[in-house]
């Protein structure tokens, strides 16, 4: 008898381990109850939308389209009362905006959400319950199934972001769309588009055409390590027209991704000065678009003309981007030229400021006022905290978590993006085995170990941490393939920390599931770094 009990126990353990192993979901859902069996998509499977809310329609069509492209199966999408079989989308007004319930049984797949947004996330989970073929484009005729289970899911944080630096290198619209596609697969919802840099201005501004004819092109580019000081002697440039930007914004919206544009000021603006030297502290200087990496001393001078210029630029930017936040950079503005400038020193005196740091605060506060007056909110790197901000300004903490903690204590919303966890330009494995990168040491396990719920914050203060973000800085990343390699798999750590409940965090379990979704990542043709995964 005893032996039988142990045998039964072993069998149950085996079944439950097996069942667990099959659910390779990243990010991990808040609650999953395994069920035995599978749903099979067949010719006569019907997708029913049981909601008057139009937003479900687009998501139901995405399922139809994905099945058509991957297997050739063409399903009907209908509106009507919820049925007892097939795929059914049901509106559940009690759920939060991004939450969903997904019930898969042998007979039926039911997706409940408040609107298309939650249904979209349910769909991403459903695809992970299916064979990797669902991500392919081979119309393979394969019959696809989905593992049965009951899921109740909702994100931990509302801001789940990725930044791409297109200033150091320009990435074509086709890659931006792919980046958005891949973000959406893992339920990331905010794309921070770093559009301007010392080395290149990448957004068309109609009022200032020289920004694209001059500021978007550099005469050559640094190659290899910074210490080598070697250059390729080849002009390099690129920019997005406003029409392209609108196209990307519309594309992102279909994937429930908000785009935050970043226009850097007053530092990281050397490219602007190449076209408009009158905005610098040395108007007679011949500025050029930067050709090497690092922090440029050529910064904007806080003249009235500069404010007028930036307000005009931001007016066009705000007209394009429908999201509430406008990122104005604010980081790494060396004060050397302001110290040496008669104009700046006179302005400091006139305004009764202490020094150049307070002058920077004055700059940011003026821009903050302008952005706020237009009904938008200002977002900036943690340097913007020095000197007081409007209450609705948000801070992006990159120099560790200190700036974010301070901002939260001052009642500002915060996105945590600490460099030692989320700068995806850092090496993710032994540099000897990797392509050239900026430096650092940031393996997947380190990214995953970040915990945004910081002990320094009270429960009330912690509510200001709206989410986290990983940044792909591109000084050493000149191609889409390498950008993808540096982004994955570490973006999966970001996705899980920002989506899944804190109490389910477990690196070994995460790594097992990441290995489990490799076939899906292969089907999506993601050029991920395989170190530690294979």
Catalytic residues: 332
Q: How far apart, in Å, are the Cα atoms of 69 and each of 64, 137, 344?
A: 9, 5, 60
Is residue 331 a contact residue for ligand ACM (CB under 6 A)? yes
Name the residue nearer to ligand ACM (CB basis): 98 or 383: 383
Structure tokens at 155: 């994100």
What φ, ψ does residue 65 adopt, rounded to 5°? -65, -40
User: Minimum Å distance from CB 405 to ligand ACM?
Assistant: 17
Name the residue nearer to ligand ACM (CB basis): 88 or 393: 393
DSSP string, 151-170: EEE--S-SEEEEEEE-SSS-
**Distance in Å, CB of 370 to ligand ACM, minimum:** 22
- Tokens, residue 194: 């770093």
Min. distance of Cβ 324 from ligand ACM in angstroms? 21
Q: What's CA 485's distance to the chain center, in Å? A: 15
User: With CB under 6 A, what is the number of residues at the site for ligand ACM?
Assistant: 4
For residue 506, give every residue at least 6 positions away whose Cβ sits within 8 Å of its Cβ, in sequence order, or none.
none
Residue in the structure block whose two tokens are 């914050």: 457
Q: Where are the beta strands (DSSP E) in 114-257?
A: 145-153, 159-165, 190-194, 196-197, 200-201, 217-218, 222-223, 230-231, 236-237
Nearest residue to the partner ligand ACM, using Cβ: 331
Q: How many Cα atoms sit within 13 Å of 163 on the Cβ side?
A: 29
Q: Are 470 and 494 in contact (CB under 8 A)?
A: yes
DSSP assignment of 39-72, as one string? EE--TT-EEEEE-S-THHHHHHHHHHHHHHHHH-
Burial class (CB in 10 A: 0-12, 13-18, 19+), 229: exposed
Residue 429 DSSP symbol = S
297 makes contact with ligand ACM (CB under 6 A): no
User: Does the footprint of ligand ACM cover residue 193 (CB under 6 A)?
Assistant: no
Radius of gyration of the chain, Cα coordinates, nearest whole angstrom: 25
Q: Which is nearer to ligand ACM, 121 or 398 (CB)?
A: 398
Euclidean distance between CA atoms 383 and 375, whole angstroms: 23
Looking at beta carbons only, is 103 or 401 nearer to ligand ACM? 401
Least distance in Å: CB of 416 to ligand ACM?
A: 13
For ligand ACM, the closer of residues 153 and 475 by Cβ is 475
Q: Is 381 in the site for ligand ACM (CB under 6 A)?
A: yes
Tell me the closest approach of the beta carbon of residue 383 to ligand ACM, in angstroms. Answer: 8
Task: State in angstroms the smallest separation of the CB of 331 from ligand ACM.
Answer: 4
101 by DSSP, 3-state: which? strand
For residue 46, the surrounding DSSP H or E stretch is strand 46-50
Q: Smaller CB distance to ligand ACM: residue 23 or 381?
A: 381
Tokens of 478: 């000149």
Interface with ligand ACM (CB under 6 A), residue from 41, 398, 421, 485: 398
Decide whether 483 or 514 has the Cβ nearer to ligand ACM: 483
Out of 244, 332, 358, 461, the only residue in the binding site for ligand ACM (CB under 6 A) is 332
C-alpha distances in Å from residue 295, one per residue of 63, 198, 267, 281, 299 = 46, 8, 8, 17, 10
Q: Is 406 in the site for ligand ACM (CB under 6 A)?
A: no
Minimum distance from residue 463 beta carbon to ligand ACM (Å): 24
Q: Which residues bind ligand ACM (CB under 6 A)?
A: 331-332, 381, 398
């Amino acid at each position: 008898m005893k032996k039988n009990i142990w045998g039964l126990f072993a069998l149950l353990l085996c079944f439950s381990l097996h069942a667990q192993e099959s659910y390779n979901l990243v990010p991990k859902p808040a609650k999953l109850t395994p069920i035995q069996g599978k749903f099979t998509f067949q010719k006569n499977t019907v997708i029913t939308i049981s909601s008057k809310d139009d937003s479900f329609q687009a998501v139901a069509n995405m399922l139809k389209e994905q099945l058509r492209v991957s297997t050739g199966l063409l399903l009907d999408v209908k509106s009507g009362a919820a049925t007892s079989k097939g795929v059914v989308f049901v509106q559940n007004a009690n759920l939060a905006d991004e939450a969903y319930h997904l019930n898969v049984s042998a007979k039926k797949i039911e997706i409940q959400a408040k609107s298309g947004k939650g249904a979209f996330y349910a769909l991403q989970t459903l695809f992970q319950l299916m064979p990797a073929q669902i991500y392919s484009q081979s119309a393979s005729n394969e019959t696809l199934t989905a593992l049965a289970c009951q899921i109740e899911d909702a994100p931990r944080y509302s801001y789940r972001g990725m930044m791409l630096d297109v200033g150091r290198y320009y990435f074509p619209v086709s890659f931006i769309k792919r980046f958005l596609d891949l973000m959406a697969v893992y339920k990331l919802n905010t794309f921070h588009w770093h559009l301007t840099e010392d080395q290149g201005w990448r957004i068309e501004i109609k009022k200032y055409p020289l920004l694209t004819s001059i500021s978007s092109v550099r005469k050559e580019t640094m190659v290899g390590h910074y210490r080598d000081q070697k250059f390729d002697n080849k002009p390099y440039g690129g920019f997005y027209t406003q029409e392209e930007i609108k196209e990307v914004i519309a594309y992102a919206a279909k994937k429930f991704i908000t785009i935050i544009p970043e226009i850097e000021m007053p530092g990281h603006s050397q490219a602007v000065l190449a076209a408009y030297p009158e905005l610098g502290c040395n108007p007679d200087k011949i500025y050029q678009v930067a050709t090497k990496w690092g922090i440029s001393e050529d910064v904007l001078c806080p003249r009235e003309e500069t404010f007028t210029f930036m307000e005009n630029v931001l007016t066009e930017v705000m007209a394009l981007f429908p999201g509430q936040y406008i990122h104005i950079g604010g980081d790494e503005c060396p004060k050397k030229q302001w110290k040496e400038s008669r104009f700046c020193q006179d302005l400091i005196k006139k305004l009764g400021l202490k020094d150049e740091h307070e002058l920077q605060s004055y700059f940011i506060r003026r821009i903050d006022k302008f952005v706020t007056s237009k009904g938008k909110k200002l977002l900036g790197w943690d340097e913007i905290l020095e000197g007081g901000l409007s209450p609705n300004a948000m801070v992006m903490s990159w120099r560790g978590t200190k700036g974010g903690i301070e901002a939260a204590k001052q009642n500002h919303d915060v996105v945590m993006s600490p460099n030692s966890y989320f700068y995806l330009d850092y090496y993710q494995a032994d540099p000897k085995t990797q392509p050239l990168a900026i430096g650092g040491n940031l393996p997947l396990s380190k990214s995953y170990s970040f915990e945004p719920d910081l002990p320094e914050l009270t429960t009330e203060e912690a509510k200001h941490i709206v989410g986290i973000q990983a940044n792909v800085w591109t000084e050493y990343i000149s191609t889409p393939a390498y950008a993808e390699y540096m982004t994955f798999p570490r973006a999966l750590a970001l996705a899980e920390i920002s989506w899944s409940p804190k109490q389910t965090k477990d690196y070994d379990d995460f790594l097992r599931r990441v290995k489990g979704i490799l076939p899906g990542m292969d089907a999506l043709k993601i050029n991920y770094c395989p170190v530690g995964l294979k």
